[in-house]
Amino acid sequence: MERPSPFIGAGLRPLYPPDAVENPPDLPREELLRLAREVRSRRYPPGAPSWAPLWRAYPVRADVPWRHTPEGTVEFMPGGQGPLTLDGVGAFVWVRLSGERTLDDIAGDIGRDFNAEEEVIREDLYWLMQQLMQRQLVVFQGESTCR
């Protein structure tokens, strides 16, 4: 069975062994679940602000040069940072960060085009947006950001 391509390019992925997608660790299911909960707790730290309003906001990518590669990735080099690459769904999301669609709309597009579970989509999209916001590569516009 072919494994799906990673959601997020290597430059934006959480820290884990570089070959973990191709060679998952041979661990009991309980240990894998414990590790997944640990990673999830880093994504959603206790006391993190609610993202509910941002799902209705319109994300806009920063004005940085970027390009599609023949492999289907998106590459860009933000000022003062090394080159970043988004592949798979990450590239799909980047193209849609034009301010014309809400984050909810983009999550729906991912579900339709990639046949993924909503919970997984929202967790990964949340994490990707966090990483892009920290690097000042995306801003949100819309009434929900003014609250």
Per-residue pLDDT tens digits for 36-90: 666 655 554 444 456 677 788 899 998 888 888 888 889 887 776 778 889 888 9
pLDDT at res. 118: 81
The token pair at 122 is: 């929202």
pLDDT confidence of 91, banded at 50, 70, 90?
very high
Q: Which of these, 2, 87, 119, 60, lies nearest to 111 by C-alpha position?
A: 119
- Within 62-117, residue ranges assigned H as helices are 89-96, 103-114
Q: Which of these, 130, 138, 96, lies nearest to 114 by C-alpha position?
A: 96
pLDDT at res. 47: 47
